Chain A
């Protein structure tokens, strides 16, 4: 009952009950009201005509503020404060500040007569567009705003604090220049009741809640205004002072890191950490603009950096496409190829050690344990060969091609096959321990955890079975699930051809959330620092908050991403059908480097001792130093 809730300011206003002035009314026998420009709370702004200029149409803006003070002394005080502030405003002279022509008090209202500005305020401008504003435009406005703040803060004998910098108080006039409207004079008319706050929470600095108004507060509010303009996220709809939780570039990656850091500095919580003056804010903006070159050539596209930070260690050519993924085990790289061979290469030098022929293409990733390497092939077989020499130890025959990568767990190989089964095979002798039936080919790589096996199937079913092969639960997506599941803290994550990344509770299979992408996906997700990374046929590599399904960032490649991302420290590595291997910053999704090959990269890279290994459809296996 004692609590109050703040609401967003009512944009359309409910001032009719307060009685807006009707067009045709004349104030002081001089100002003819033509219409309402805006209204809200205790004040309204009208478009008017100054009748002292009978031969020309001189337009003015008339701001009306209603004096609600019932007590005569209070009423007088409000009027005196108003007149003092109006006098102050009348002495200001700056191209970005509308001129004050007149003020007066009549009945229960006080009026301020100002220069009429043709144009749109930035809030309207945001509302009228649905794409991001160009960086150089926002920087140009911000520089002008810094100029006017410098003027105000340097005002003698006392600095003038604007107090209410926000998009709706900044007009862009017909010449494209900014004009500051609505100095906080209206606040004099706000009843000083408990819980009423100064300014608009979304833009005002934390210290304003302690009643401090200073130049540093205007700097913060300008930073907040820029943040809103660059991200299109209205801070009034977000928790107060949460700008640092949604950095500009996380929302709008087109913005340069230079500008982002200027905005961040303006938005520092502690006034001491912000720019010391509007002037130094402006210098920082100009320096950033100079670095990115936006103010010189606004049309310049982001420069494509060639692979500079990455060094090729070696490349090895096979006889056909490599669609599967390599592993490194005891210093040896194993990779399957569509020339039907499993290759073993020295991981450091890329020299050929041996190859083992299967009778079908190998679209999978081998698995290795101690002395044995297991590889699944489209020849319907799972092959176990010796890790050092590639000698056959056993094969296991399924009733269809095997396109699922084997998983090793407690003496068994778990692998799906196109015969619609999950096969569980004894690692040492290749005998089947058990198998579980699925409604279609099983191409995802099974996940084994805590006596449960989780795998997806081409029918769109996702299964949880126990070690006897009995189904514990089943989940159904709308299309095939070729992506392999991962589990983090009891939650399973995998993608589907139905364009969706799913998060399921592992015990019962309930969906916790889903994330919709632009195309089907067969990429298997990776997890780090609370984020899920996955590729998608829409060409993007996505980073998604694992706690909920919010997109953290996405990176667009030039073709489908069927490869699965791999994370090492704060880098994400992922291949694309466009032929490139990408290295991205885990936190921002910004590109660190790309390495271009001669064909699509469909497999998942392996990372081992500072090197990254992957195959390409150009027949090569590549090793790069990261």
Chain B
């Protein structure tokens, strides 16, 4: 345990199993305030923690953000993924890691690299199909390589003025404004479903013994049903991606308050992780926060 504490100190999130570096960037690097603004920019923060009670980190996250300036510049783009693995032994962490790889690789190749093309493209796979294919591929990879393992996965692909979201499981994507916090994904958990139907009160759901039972997850078998949808980017607002180690512990309004009070998305992510750990840190915690400036 000491070993883990030494390596996985609160402020220094671990390197996730797929080798994606998830340590927060230096705030100076991400804060554009000192740079001559070409235009308002997308800002990023991210953080991860093993939590207090767990000995393994089964969460994975992935962040890629791009901006180009100049004549006929590419629109801003970004790819953000959070996955929360489950299953015995190490299968949870492997499942989340390879899922993130499978999804990011597919989306990078077939959407972001395509952006760089000079000629107009023909016969491009539509973004929503691409997102669905990416998550289905991750599902097959987990079924094949990690029997008994599974993972949630929530991916946000930002291109220009739209975000396309792919989602399976109970990690969440939120849209946060100064006055509002709203999950845009739907938890694929039995308890959430019962709560949606009024069969359980929210306070009952919070303590329900089956609250961790998902009815959909990457790795559950063939015919995975994936939620895919596209939203206009929320101007002057944040998108937060997080695992249930955050949202299951820190109330939504508290999340909103922390994000509003923070100076930067990175600071907000650090505070969110602190809050989850302060509340007992029962599970791994991952958070990616993206700020979209006013138009």
Contacts and interface: CB of A to CB of B under 8 A. Distances in A.
A241 interface: yes
28 contacts: A1-B54, A1-B56, A1-B58, A3-B86, A4-B86, A4-B212, A5-B214, A5-B219, A5-B220, A6-B220, A239-B216, A240-B215, A270-B198, A475-B120, A476-B121, A505-B127, A507-B75, A507-B161, A508-B74, A510-B160, A511-B124, A511-B126, A511-B127, A512-B164, A513-B230, A514-B126, A514-B129, A548-B128
B127 A512 contact: yes
B190 A505 contact: no
B236 to A, nearest CB: 16
A207 interface: yes
A513 B193 contact: no
B225 interface: yes
Interface in A233-266: 237-242
B69 to A, nearest CB: 15
B208 to A, nearest CB: 9
Interface in B230-245: 230, 232
Interface in B203-237: 209-210, 212-217, 219-221, 223, 225, 228-230, 232
Contacts of B128: 512-513, 548-549
Q: How large is the interface on B (under 10, 10 to 19, 20 to 34, 35 or more residues)?
A: 35 or more
B92 A513 contact: no
B194 to A, nearest CB: 6
A505 B213 contact: no
A350 interface: no
Given A475-B120, A506-B161, A209 B75 contact: no
A282 to B, nearest CB: 26
Contacts of B74: 508
Contacts of A240: 190, 193-194, 215
A474 interface: yes
B215 A239 contact: yes
A513 B129 contact: yes
A58 interface: no
A242 B225 CA distance: 14
B120 A239 contact: no
B87 interface: yes
A209 B230 contact: no
B225 A510 contact: no
Contacts of B54: 1
Nearest to B125: A511
A490 B160 CA distance: 10
A510 B162 CA distance: 10
Say whether chain A's binding surface is mostly helix, strand, loop, or mixed: loop
A490 B230 CA distance: 10
Contact of B197 (A6, A241, A512): A241
B88 interface: yes
A272 interface: no
A195 B74 CA distance: 49
Interface of B: 54, 56, 58, 72, 74-75, 86-88, 92, 111, 115, 120-129, 150, 159-162, 164, 188, 190, 193-194, 197-199, 209-210, 212-217, 219-221, 223, 225, 228-230, 232
A269 interface: yes
Contact of B190 (A7, A209, A514): A209
A491 B162 contact: yes
Contacts of A505: 127, 159-162, 230
A499 to B, nearest CB: 14
B222 to A, nearest CB: 9
A391 interface: no
A2 interface: yes
Contacts of B126: 503, 511-514, 549
A357 interface: no
A384 to B, nearest CB: 35
Contacts of B216: 5, 239
Nearest to A461: B120
A370 interface: no
A8 B221 CA distance: 9
A490 B212 contact: no
Given A6-B215, A240-B215, A269-B198, A548 B88 contact: no
A502 B159 CA distance: 17
A237 B199 contact: no
Nearest to B230: A512
A514 B126 CA distance: 7
Given A1-B86, A3-B213, A510-B160, A237 B225 contact: yes
Contact of A239 (B121, B125, B193, B228): B193
Nearest to B72: A472
A206 B194 contact: yes
Contacts of A7: 220-221
A547 interface: yes
Contacts of B120: 461, 473-476
Given A206-B194, A503-B126, A6 B213 contact: yes
Nearest to A488: B232
B248 to A, nearest CB: 11
Contacts of B193: 239-242
Contacts of A210: 199
Contacts of B122: 476, 478
Contacts of A474: 120
Nearest to A472: B72
